[in-house]
């Protein structure tokens, strides 16, 4: 027998390697920005920054010497790196700030000797983020009540298909919109039925719906829409043009002359945020998501709340799906959602299960999606595939702990069995 | 699925002492057990085919024409005959001739590889949905190495390329394993994100001088040299991959059920906290899971490269990432079950390809059938309610995922 080992108490705090690693990463980013985006263009190149959108020449542009501007940004990035190393300020804010500065530096560099229109960039990013943001709201509504909705992709795809079919058959955009939302809600109900009544694992139930939707829409696209191409025309919801207001500089095109879906997105984000945190329904839903048994003891019916939220989530995903047809192309294509339902799910997690957080995460992805088209205008010799990877890499870094461990609702994904 | 103490008490009070699956199985004679075990999959397949038939029938243009004229019986007649014809060709193209059997085998091989990969990781409680990326990287490594070692005799060349393909997938897969082990990053998100990263990375690599086929403007690699290709049966497309993948299934079965590593892995999958308490390194188990699961998916890409698609293109991985999950669930996460599941899906695929060319009905109907089958396989309650089957204790649904917090 050996003598029992004496437990050695760790007296000093563990070295925060992660914090250091991320701080060094920011410093490396600063050096990169300085050398590539700054020094590289130093002799004499200017970037013109304008704020006009479609109102060409409404405001004079801002001439910025590219090299000097980016050198300044590199200094700011270095400061952020220092703040991270010294543990000043919250890591999540620093990450957001660092990312933002890097993106600005990159854009200014990409548009060197050219014109960068901020309003255009903002407008196309907003538009690209619509399906992701509304899809993420669906995820928030479901997961706050404790049901993981991995079926967002399938709900969006089905809604896009049904809205096209109904729009093509009736020629009425509103019928198309309503039927798309209804299709999403129906699949939400199916998810609720499978996971709540028939006790299928939530992730698998959602996966089943995704697979079903892929097969169903692809099959009908080939066997119906390709045979009757005249039906493959959903119509489009017209842009909201608030008269002369859209000619107001900067804010005009952004606020008063946009796609109807952009307004719907903003309204939904804030109304769901308020509903979730300041209403009776929201409190009940969140309590069911955290601890359904406790909620049941105070007289809340967790199953009913979950049914309601999952069906509502399905309807939201359906609305997001109709964006692809009614808000964008006006016709159905079997791969048109291209995994954006899954990106929405990631936006939910990055946004900390909060509608506004999810919206901000969706904006990041929306920006990344629109970046390819934006950079297509400039003469950038970087392969677009490399740029497309960035949001996914950022997501991996984020879930790997830069933003601190995010905490899902406690009962998220847990089945609740009624006694 | 674990039962709550209250449920257990209620069961005992009602005179039903709790049974473990093993105890339950021992009570039954073999034919009864077989019948019980097969009842759910067979009913699931039947329901899937039924739903598929309904969709085929409803999509027939004649169906609606008849209905419009009030000829209800004729309408259903045309729908049923269209569906019947589709299934006739589906069956004939999957099993109707030796050539059909060969095609079914060819379709089964990659499905079995990715299914084993998914089942292995799910067993360890690691919800890996990254087979697509691992598949791609296995194939990319394989095509590079096959052509790097060109000129070797096949007997050395093939094993080298297979092993390197395994390593390619394992390296890509282990990223998610390491991230989960070191930082606790949720594997559903990391593997999904890594799929997207892999797709864009491969799209880019395909136009770099290392990979792009000389003289071609589009993203495509050179063809794998003939000496690396897996030998096929003369006159057929069926190839050596069938034997390799079956050997892999047996090895995976052996690892899972006959080794310490397998025991540790399943303990981690059942309860990571208990595994830690028992002295098992959960972190290393996660990494190991992803090395092997990633490697298997990489082998899927490699055999695909060395047989039917001899060069890598952007859409090389097709839908194998999602099929992996389907096969694993259908096979109940058991290597032997996965063999049958992959064979079922493989025969649906080869059948659907034949069906599409014979009847011009879209191939995609089998995806609907697959979805219905998984729904029914994972919900014993659903089958019980619809078909009024007395449920066997052994067919309880396994809990695959534990939400995001797992």
Q: What is the CATH number of the domain that holds A165?
A: 1.10.3470
Q: Which sign, positive or negative, has the C-alpha torsion A254, A258, A259, A260? A: positive
Does residue A259 lie within any of the structural domains? yes
B397 with A395: Cβ contact below 8 A: no
Of A324, A342, A366, which marks where a domain is finished? A366
Crossing angle (nearest 10°) for helices A302-322 and A340-350: 130
Cβ-contact B384, A207 below 8 angstroms: no
Q: Please report the pLDDT score of residue A275 as a whole number.
A: 96
Cβ-contact B370, B326 below 8 angstroms: yes
Say how far apart CA B102 and CA B338 lie, in whole Å.
19
Residues of B in contact with A197 (CB under 8 A): 381
Q: Please report the pLDDT score of residue A397 as a whole number.
A: 81
Cβ-contact B197, B130 below 8 angstroms: no
CB atoms within 10 A of CB B18: 12
Of A113, A139, A171, which marks where a domain is finished? A113
Does residue A169 lie within any of the structural domains? yes
- pLDDT tens for B132-141 read 999 999 999 9
A219 with B367: Cβ contact below 8 A: yes
Does residue B45 lie within any of the structural domains? no
Q: Does any CB of chain B come closer than 8 Å to the CB of residue A205?
A: yes
Q: What percent of chain A has pLDDT over 90?
A: 34
Does residue A418 lie within any of the structural domains? no
- pLDDT tens for A44-60 read 677 777 776 666 556 67
Does residue B228 lie within any of the structural domains? yes
User: How much is the average pLDDT of B167-190?
Assistant: 91
Q: What is the DSSP letter of B237?
A: S
Say how far apart CA A412 and CA A100 lie, in whole Å.
31
Residues of A in contact with B365 (CB under 8 A): 215, 219
Q: Please report the pLDDT score of residue A321 as a whole number.
A: 95
CA-based nearest residue in chain B for residue A416: B4
B127, B183, B397 member nearest A200 (Cβ): B397
Q: Please report the pLDDT score of residue A419 as a whole number.
A: 55
> Of the ranges A176-180, A239-243, A363-367, which one carries the lowest mean pLDDT score?
A239-243
The full 3-state SS of chain A, as one line of letters, equals: CCCCCCCCCCCCCCCCHHHHHHHHHHHHHHHHHHHHHHHHHCCCCEEEEECCCCCCCCCCCEEEEHHHHHHHHHHHHHHHHHHHHCCCCCHHHHHHHHHHHHHHHHHHHHCCCCEEEHHHHHHHHHHHHHHHHHHHHHHHHHHHCCCCCCCHHHHHHHHHHHHHHHHHHHCCHHHHHHHHHHHHHHHHHHHHHHHHHCCCCHHHHHHHHHHHHHHHHHHHHHHHHCCCHHHCCCCCCCCCCCHHHHHCCCHHHHHHCCCHHHHHHHHHHHHHHHHHHHCHHHHHHHHHHHCHHHHHHCCCCHHHHHHHHHHHHHHHHHHHHHHHHHHHHCCCCCCCCCCHHHHHHHHHHHCCCCHHHHHHHHHHHHHHHHHHHHHHHCCCCCCHHHHHHHHHHHHHHHHHHHCCCCCCCCCCCCCCCCC
B314: CATH: 1.10.3470
> Of the ranges A91-95, A339-343, B159-163, which one carries the lowest mean pLDDT score?
A91-95
Q: Please report the pLDDT score of residue A274 as a whole number.
A: 97
Residue A42: is its pLDDT beyond 80?
no
Note whether A126 and A93 are same-domain residues.
no
Residue B385: is its pLDDT beyond 80?
no
Note whether A346 and A360 are same-domain residues.
yes
Q: Is B185 left (phi over 0), alpha (psi -120 to 50) or beta?
A: beta
Helix (H, G, I), strand (E, B) or coil at B146: helix
Note whether A234 and A315 are same-domain residues.
yes
Q: Does any CB of chain A come closer than 8 Å to the CB of residue B394?
A: no
Note whether A149 and A224 are same-domain residues.
yes
Note whether A53 and A187 are same-domain residues.
no
Average pLDDT over chain B, rounded to an integer: 86
CA B114 vs CA B130, B321, B377: distances in Å? 10, 8, 19
Planar angle of CA A219, B104, A226, nearest 5 degrees? 15
Domain, as residue range, for A260: 119-366
Q: Please report the pLDDT score of residue B402 as a whole number.
A: 55
Does residue B59 lie within any of the structural domains? no
Does residue A402 lie within any of the structural domains? no
Report the candidate in A100, A121, A4, A133 with the shortest Cα–Cα distance to residue A378. A121
Does residue B143 lie within any of the structural domains? yes
Does residue A308 lie within any of the structural domains? yes
Of chain A residues 319-348, which have a CB less than 8 A from chain B?
339, 342, 346
Does residue B35 lie within any of the structural domains? no
CA B404 vs CA A405, B4, B113, B319: distances in Å? 12, 22, 27, 24
Q: Is B176 left (phi over 0), alpha (psi -120 to 50) or beta?
A: alpha
B184 with A395: Cβ contact below 8 A: no
Split into its structural domains, chain A has a count of 2
Note whether A215 and A104 are same-domain residues.
no
What is chain A's Cα-based Rg?
Answer: 24
Mutate to test the interface with B, among A155, A190, A219, A369 (most CBs of B within 10 A): A219
> Of the ranges A163-167, B8-12, B180-184, B339-343, which one carries the lowest mean pLDDT score?
B8-12
Say how far apart CA A144 and CA A288 lie, in whole Å.
8
- pLDDT tens for A282-324 read 999 999 999 999 999 999 999 999 999 999 999 999 999 999 9
ipTM value for the complex: 0.83
Does residue B343 lie within any of the structural domains? yes
Q: Please report the pLDDT score of residue B22 as a whole number.
A: 55
Does residue B53 lie within any of the structural domains? no
Residue B3: is its pLDDT beyond 50?
no
Residue B401: is its pLDDT beyond 60?
no
Note whether A287 and A345 are same-domain residues.
yes
Residues of A in contact with B329 (CB under 8 A): 204
The number of C-beta contacts closer than 8 angstroms across A and B is 157
Note whether A47 and A143 are same-domain residues.
no
Split into its structural domains, chain B has a count of 1
Note whether A100 and A128 are same-domain residues.
no
Confidence tier at B395 by pLDDT (50, 70, 90): very low
Note whether A190 and A61 are same-domain residues.
no
CA-based nearest residue in chain A for residue B329: A204
Widest CA span of chain A, in angstroms? 90
CA A193 vs CA A155, B241, B285: distances in Å? 15, 41, 35
Does residue A401 lie within any of the structural domains? no
Note whether A46 and A160 are same-domain residues.
no
* HSE-CB for A237 with a 13 A CA cutoff: 22
- pLDDT tens for B253-267 read 999 999 999 999 999
Cβ-contact A36, A109 below 8 angstroms: yes
Note whether A234 and A333 are same-domain residues.
yes
Does residue A287 lie within any of the structural domains? yes
Does residue B339 lie within any of the structural domains? yes
Q: Does any CB of chain B come closer than 8 Å to the CB of residue A17?
A: no
Residue A1: is its pLDDT beyond 50?
no
Q: Which sign, positive or negative, has the C-alpha torsion A36, A41, A43, A46? A: negative
Domain, as residue range, for B300: 105-363
Does residue A396 lie within any of the structural domains? no
């Amino acid at each position: 027998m050996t003598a029992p080992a004496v437990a050695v108490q760790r007296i000093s705090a563990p070295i925060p390697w992660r914090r250091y690693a991320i701080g060094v990463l920011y410093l490396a980013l600063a050096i990169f920005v300085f050398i590539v985006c700054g020094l590289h263009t130093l002799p004499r190149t200017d970037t013109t920054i304008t704020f006009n959108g479609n109102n060409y020449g409404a405001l004079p542009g801002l001439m910025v010497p590219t090299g000097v501007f980016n050198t300044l940004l590199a200094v700011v990035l270095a400061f952020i790196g220092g703040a991270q190393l010294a543990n000043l300020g919250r890591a999540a804010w620093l990450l957001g700030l660092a990312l933002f500065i890097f993106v600005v530096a990159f854009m200014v560099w990409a548009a060197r000797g050219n014109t960068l229109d901020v309003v255009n960039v903002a407008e196309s990013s907003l538009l690209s983020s619509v399906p992701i943001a509304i899809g993420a709201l669906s995820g928030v509504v479901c997961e706050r009540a404790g049901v993981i909705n991995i079926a967002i992709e399938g709900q969006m795809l089905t809604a896009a298909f049904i809205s096209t079919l109904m729009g093509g058959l009736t020629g009425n955009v509103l019928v198309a919109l309503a039927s798309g939302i209804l299709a999403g809600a129906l699949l939400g109900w199916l998810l609720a039925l499978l996971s709540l009544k028939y006790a299928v694992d939530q992730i698998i139930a959602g996966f089943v719906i995704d697979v079903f939707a892929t097969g169903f829409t692809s099959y009908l696209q080939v066997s119906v829409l390709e045979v009757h191409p005249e039906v493959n025309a959903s119509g489009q919801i017209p842009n909201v043009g608030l008269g002369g207001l859209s000619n107001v500089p900067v804010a005009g095109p952004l606020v008063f002359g946009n796609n109807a879906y952009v307004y719907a997105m903003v309204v939904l984000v804030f109304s769901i945020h308020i509903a979730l945190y300041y209403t009776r329904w929201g409190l009940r839903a969140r309590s069911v998501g955290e601890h359904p048994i406790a909620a049941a003891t105070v007289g809340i019916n967790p199953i009913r709340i979950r049914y309601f939220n999952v069906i509502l989530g399905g309807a939201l995903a359906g609305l997001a799906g109709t964006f692809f047809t009614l808000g964008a192309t006006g016709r159905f294509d079997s791969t048109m959602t291209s995994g954006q339902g899954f990106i929405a799910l990631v936006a939910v997690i990055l946004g900390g299960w909060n509608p506004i957080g999810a919206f901000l995460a969706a904006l990041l992805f929306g920006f990344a999606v629109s970046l390819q088209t934006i950079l297509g205008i400039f003469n950038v010799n970087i392969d677009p595939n490399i740029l497309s990877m960035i949001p996914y890499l950022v997501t991996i870094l984020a879930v790997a702990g830069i933003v601190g461990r995010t905490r899902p609702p406690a009962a998220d994904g847990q089945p609740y069995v009624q006694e | 699925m674990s039962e709550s103490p209250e449920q257990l008490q209620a069961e005992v009070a009602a005179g039903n002492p709790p049974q473990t699956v093993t105890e339950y199985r021992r009570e039954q004679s073999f034919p009864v057990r077989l019948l019980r075990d097969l009842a759910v999959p067979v009913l699931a397949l039947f329901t899937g085919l039924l739903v598929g038939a309904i969709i085929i029938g409803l999509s027939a243009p004649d169906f609606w024409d008849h209905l419009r004229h009030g000829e209800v019986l004729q309408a259903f007649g045309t729908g049923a005959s269209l569906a019947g014809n589709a299934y006739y060709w589906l069956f004939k193209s999957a099993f109707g001739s030796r050539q059909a059997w060969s095609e079914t085998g060819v379709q089964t091989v990659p499905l079995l590889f990715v299914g084993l990969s998914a089942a292995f990781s799910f067993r360890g409680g690691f919800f890996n949905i990254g087979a697509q990326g691992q598949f791609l990287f296995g194939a990319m490594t394989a095509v590079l190495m096959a052509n790097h070692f060109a000129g070797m005799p096949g007997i050395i060349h093939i094993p080298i390329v297979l092993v390197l393909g395994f390593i390619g997938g394992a390296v890509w897969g282990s990223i998610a394993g390491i991230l989960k082990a070191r930082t606790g990053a949720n594997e559903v998100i990391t593997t999904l994100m890594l799929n997207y990263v892999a797709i864009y990375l491969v799209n880019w690599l395909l136009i770099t001088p290392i990979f792009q086929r000389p003289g071609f403007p589009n993203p495509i690699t050179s063809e794998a040299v003939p000496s690396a290709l897996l030998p096929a049966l003369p006159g057929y497309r069926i190839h050596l991959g069938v034997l390799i993948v079956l050997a892999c299934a047996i090895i995976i079965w052996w690892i899972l059920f006959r080794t310490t590593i397998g025991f540790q892995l399943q303990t981690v999958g059942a309860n990571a906290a208990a595994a830690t308490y028992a002295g098992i390194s959960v972190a290393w188990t996660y990494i190991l899971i992803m090395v092997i699961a990633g490697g298997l998916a990489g082998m899927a890409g490699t055999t695909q490269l060395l047989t039917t698609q001899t060069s890598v293109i952007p859409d090389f991985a097709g839908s194998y990432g999602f099929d992996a999950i389907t096969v694993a669930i259908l096979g109940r996460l058991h290597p032997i079950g996965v063999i049958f599941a992959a064979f079922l899906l493989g025969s649906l695929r080869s059948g659907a390809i034949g069906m599409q060319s014979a009847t011009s009905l879209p191939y995609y109907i089998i995806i609907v059938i697959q979805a219905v089958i998984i729904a029914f396989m994972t919900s014993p309650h659903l089958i019980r309610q619809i078909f009024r089957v007395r449920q066997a204790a052994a067919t309880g649904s396994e809990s695959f995922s534990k939400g995001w917090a797992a």
